[in-house]
Structure 1
Amino acid sequence: MKKLFVLVGCLLGYIASYAQADYKVIFDITSKSVEDHNTVMRQVNGILKGSPDAQLEVAVYGDALDMVLKDKSKITPALTELLNNKKVSVKVCGATMKRNNKNASELIPGVEVVPDAIYEIITKQREGWGYIKVAH
């Protein structure tokens, strides 16, 4: 009986550790609204408080471009702090940047460029990531 309890305890510990390591979410933001930019920061930080090992990504495209531009972002300090966490990435759509005549040197340091944000989202979903659209 004692061996059974040990086995069940080990199994539960394994399941709990696997579930936490497998917490992956991609956020989709296209809004120009600073309120929405703050919302995604709040949501990401909330998940990190509850699950510090979660892997999180924010896909930025469309009208949300200003969120990641050095000279236009209203959330630079919060975004910079978030980018210091190795479990979080912020990726901006290269096609959106091209349409707006922007280049990588204009981004807040740490923001990465992907060729297409929608493709990035679909790829993450295929890999089993959860999906959250940020909007009001």
Structure 2
Amino acid sequence: MNPRDRIRLLGAGLIGLGGTRMAQAQTQGPVAAQQISSEPWKVAMQISDSLEQAYEGLINIQNVLELDPKMRFIVVGYGKAIHFLLNGAKTPQGALFSGMIGDLANQGVQFKACNNTLTFLKIPQSELVLEATVVPAGVYELVKLQSEGWYYIKP
């Protein structure tokens, strides 16, 4: 058998394997989510870029908690996005962030606001939503959480 025939035969075999897998996948239907671990995973989320990022991050948390309600989250807000933690802040769709934050806090999600950012932007702590606690520095808090075994994500 010449090399070209070998390549054609190999290609035909690989295509056949792919088609079989595709046919199996199509007949199996949707895969149900399974609990990730017997111990809850701990996730620290950085929100520092924008209100859009904050909204996306909170939606991500809602989705994950539907799959694994035991998962624990700490959201650390600082920089340009700190405003999502303020009373009256609205999502890009016009809803109040405080409603989303309250719902997530009721599921165990913690919210931390960076004191450095609040000071720099001259925002009094009294403007924060009730669920937010103040930490000295957002970046420091994220590093500390990672050193304590928390996974880090940024939407």
Q: Which residue pairs with 2:131 in the alignment?
A: 110
Which residue identity does 1:39 align to in structure 2?
Answer: E
Any idea what SS the aligned residue of 2:122 has? coil
Counterpart residue identity of residue 70, structure 2: D
1:1-136 paired onto structure 2 within 5 Å = 19-32=37-50, 34-74=51-91, 75-85=97-107, 87-134=108-155
- Give the share of equivalent positions with the same residue, in percent: 28
Pairwise CA distance, 1:51: 1.2
CA distance in 2: counterparts of 1:79 and 1:62, whole angstroms: 18
Tell me, yes or no, if the aligned pair for 1:92 and 1:113 is still in contact at 8 Å.
yes
Question: C-alpha root-mean-square deviation of aligned residues, in Å?
Answer: 1.8
Alignment gaps of 5+ in structure 1: 1-16
Unaligned 5+ segments in structure 2 are 1-34, 92-96
**Count of paired positions:** 116
Runs of 4+ in structure 1 off by over 6 angstroms are none
> Which structure is larger by alpha-carbon Rg, 1 or 2?
2
Q: By how many angstroms is 1:18 displaced?
A: 9.9
Q: What is the rounded CA distance, in whole Å, between the counterparts of 2:36 and 2:58 in structure 1?
A: 26
